[in-house]
Structure 1
């Protein structure tokens, strides 16, 4: 199927999903009743209608091949299934256990479509656990869960492309739930969960650690627990493959869009010419802001219990990554989209809903346009003489403005609010 045809189909689906979201928002009383009486049935129907049936239609009936990162994931899963050693026998930009985890569905069905279904099931499990966590805090929790299933970015990037970034929120959610249950002496459990997450997903989950250490009561204790798990794992990897386990770090060197650097680059290039092959310094500068700003939020809210601020710190961390990391791309919004909807967005406020929908549409449209016009790097203002370049650049700016709005609202929630339970 031609790529433009696929894009137009995506736009049509996005429109249908958006109308569905508007309808769902208008039925608050109905969803409140369902939350009290039929939560499992409604959630299950949402999964079947908005995940399972579309997966069957796309990959079994239309017989489309998985796109995005799935071919690379399948390559890793096949190698892991065959007994290969990660980083030595096959490439991987994820944590050491990741390839072996995504090989599980391949054992059952040796097809890349199995990995997409696995990602959908993982996302749905994380959504159910998120709903279970928030339903005691909000009468709109079930309504939010169904809205999430209709968000265009989640629908496209997870159902169609099989992105795994929602696992970040799943890991943070497990830690948060543990601190909700264990309100004192929680550092050991949190440290174990965090260390396991670092061995399972991506090294970028480490970005959250400084802010989390500021928020917990006994940071040294948590670090020692993490070290007790992490150091033997690193030692084993070094013993087996030397420094090849540093492979995931190499993935941060490619310049992507949209982020603060990509929109400011035409002006930056006027002063400092950028060599894309030697862009590591740019990402290191972005890393400082990615780590410092959530840590600052944590410091300002240090009088609060970690279970009051952890979801907000998680959102701040990953939205900062998308703002300041020159290697960040639009798909990374999946990392915090679920948390954003449940923790920050107030569907009673028109502006909140407008930003949420704009972010989702931009996340779907901008990457396609950027790739379609040959991934331009805007090194001077001259390029804006081309209407297609100017249009795509405006989309990037709108994306970054959405990120900045999210960061501001997260600051208000973490630092300024008293974290009262939402209605």
Structure 2
């Protein structure tokens, strides 16, 4: 099946999923009743209809081959299964343990489709845990679960492309649940979970560290716990493979879309030329801007307990990263989309729902358009006289505008005293 055909099928699926979301909004009262009486059954049916059956249809009945990053995931999972040492015997842009984790289903079924199924099951586990966490305070938590499942971005990037970024929120959720359970003494647990995150996911999870350290009561204690776990792991890696463990950092050099740099580059190039093959400075500026802005929000948010601000800080961190980091791909939306649906978006507000749907559609459409037209760098305004280029650029602008909206929503929640925050 050609790439263009797959894209057209994705668009049709997006239409169907959007219709499902509209239905869920109209049936909000009915779904609230399900939450009160039959939530486990309703959640199970949602998983069956919106994840498991589509997976069976796509990968078993139609016999489609997984796309996106899954072939690369399969390559390193095979290397890990064969007993290879990460970074030395096979390439990986993830944390050292990631390849070994995704190799586990290959022992049952040596096929790349098994990795996609693992991603679906992990997402479902994280969604169920999120639902259980929010259920006591949200009467529409079950509706939020169903809407998340039907968002085109989550459906396409998890079910079809097998992306793992939702694990970020899963780890942040573990931190949040730990803080809620231990509101007076939580630094040791946070340090352990954060160290595990850096060993199992991606180096970019470290973006969440500065705002968290500003927000906790005893940051040194948390850092010492992280060091007690992380330094021996780094020492072991260096002993076995030298500096090859720095391989994940190399992946951050590639310029991607959409972000503030990609849409303002025609202006930037009027003053200074950016060498695409050597974009280190651009990425460092994005990293510093992201960390400073979110750290400022965390400092302002110290008027509130961490039990109130942690999800919003997490969303703000990675939304800012997607705005300012020139190497952040659009798929990173999956890292915090679940948290957005439960924590930031008011499902009773039509404006919020429209922005959520627009962002979700853009996350599916813009990357395809950009790749299909050979990923042009918009270094001059005259390039935008080409209608196709202008269309792609406008999609990027809309994307970035949605990211800014998310940051503004999270900033309001972070800095507004809890007793003044609307229920």
TM-score, normalised by the number of residues in structure 1: 0.99
Does the 8 Å contact 1:138/1:422 carry over to 2? no
| Deviation of 1:350 (Å) | 1.2
Report the alpha carbon displacement of residue 303 of structure 1 after superposing the two structures with TM.
Answer: 2.5
Give the match for residue 329 of structure 1: 329
2:236 alignment counterpart: 236
Superposed displacement of residue 329, structure 1:
1.4
8 Å CA contact 1:211–1:313 kept in 2: the answer is yes
Deviation per CA, 1:64-116, whole angstroms, max 9, x where unpaired? 10000000000010000000001111100000000000000111100000000
Secondary structure at 2:303's aligned position in 1? coil
Q: Is the 8 A contact 1:298 1:313 kept in 2?
A: yes
Counterpart Cα distance in 1 of 2:167 and 2:394: 30
Q: 1:172 maps to which residue?
A: 172
Matched, 1:304 2:304: yes
Secondary structure at 2:277 match in 1: helix
CA distance in 2, matches of 1:374, 1:168: 30
Distance in 2 between the 1:354 and 1:398 partners? Answer: 13
CA shift, 1:290, in A, is 1.4
1:394 deviates by: 0.4
- Aligned-residue CA RMSD (Å): 1.0
Deviation at 1:301, TM superposition (A): 1.1
- Match of 1:291? 291
> Aligned pair in 2 of structure 1 residues 199, 420: CA closer, same or farther (>3 Å)?
farther
Residues 222-301 of structure 1 mapped to structure 2, 5 A cutoff: 222-301=222-301
Q: Check whether the contact 2:238–2:245 (CA below 8 A) recurs between aligned residues.
A: yes
Q: Which residue in 1 is equivalent to 2:385?
A: 385
- 1:346-379 per-residue CA deviation (whole Å, 9 max, x = no partner) reads 0111110110000001000000000111111111
Matched, 1:13 2:13: yes
Q: Aligned partners of 1:268, 1:417: CA distance in 2, in Å? A: 39
Give SS of 2:418's match. coil
C-alpha distance in 2 between matches for 1:79 and 1:193: 26
What is the aligned partner in structure 1 of residue 188 from structure 2?
188
> Any stretches of 5+ residues in structure 1 without a counterpart?
none
CA distance in 1, matches of 2:294, 2:342: 19
CA contact 1:17–1:150 (8 Å) conserved in 2? yes
Matches within 5 A, 1:30-41: 30-41=30-41
Residues 1:111 and 2:111 are matched in the alignment = yes
* Equivalent residues of 1:198, 1:205 under 8 A apart: yes
How far the C-alpha of 1:389 sits from its partner, in A, is 0.4
Total equivalences in the alignment: 423
In 2: Cα distance, 1:102 partner to 1:305 partner: 36
> Does residue 44 of the first structure (1) align with residue 44 of the second (2)?
yes
TM-superposition CA deviations, 1:27-65 (whole Å, max 9, x none): 121111111110110000000100001000100011110
| 3-state SS, counterpart of residue 347 of structure 2 | coil
Question: Given that residues 256 and 262 in structure 1 are in contact (C-alpha distance below 8 angstroms), is that contact kept between their aligned partners in structure 2?
Answer: yes
State the alpha-carbon separation in 1 of the partners of residues 260 and 349 from structure 2.
27
Which residue of 2 is the match for residue 133 of structure 1? 133
Question: Per-residue CA shift, 1:150-195, capped at 9, x if unaligned?
Answer: 0000000010000000000000000000000011111011111111
Give the Cα–Cα distance (whole angstroms) in 2 for the partners of residues 21 and 419 of structure 1: 32
Specify the alignment match of 1:79 in structure 2: 79
Residue 216 of structure 1 corresponds to 216
Q: Distance in 2 between matches of 1:420 and 1:235?
A: 48
Query: Helix, strand or coil: the match of 1:276?
Result: coil
Contact persistence 2:179–2:306 (CA under 8 A): yes
- Residue 69 to residue 422, structure 1, CA distance change in 2 (3 Å): farther
2:284, 2:106 → 1: CA distance?
37
CA distance in 1, matches of 2:87, 2:373: 34
Structure 1 segments, 4+ long, off by >2 Å, are 419-423
Partner of 2:122: 122
User: Is the 8 Å Cα contact of residues 303 and 415 (structure 2) preserved in structure 1?
Assistant: no
Q: Secondary structure at the match of 1:171?
A: helix
Q: In the TM superposition, what is the alpha-carbon distance from 1:419 to its structure 2 partner?
A: 6.5
Say if 2:169 and 2:335, in contact at 8 Å, map to a contact too.
yes
Cα distance in 2 for partners of 1:339, 1:180 equals: 16
Please, which runs of 5 or more residues in structure 2 have no aligned partner? none
Structure 2 Cα separation of the partners of residues 398 and 361 of structure 1: 11
**CA separation of 1:165/1:422 partners in 2, compared to 1, >3 Å: closer, same or farther?**
farther
1:102-145 deviations in Å (ceiling 9; x for gaps): 00011110000000000000000000000000001100100100
Separation (CA, whole Å) in 2 of partners of 1:148 and 1:396? 23
Q: Please say if residues 137 and 421 of structure 1, whose CA atoms lie closer than 8 Å, have aligned partners that are also in contact.
A: no
Query: In structure 2, how many angstroms separate the alpha carbons of the residues matched to 1:330 and 1:244?
Result: 27
**Contact 1:286 1:321 (C-alpha < 8 Å) held by counterparts:** yes
Partner Cα distance (2:251, 2:375) in 1: 18
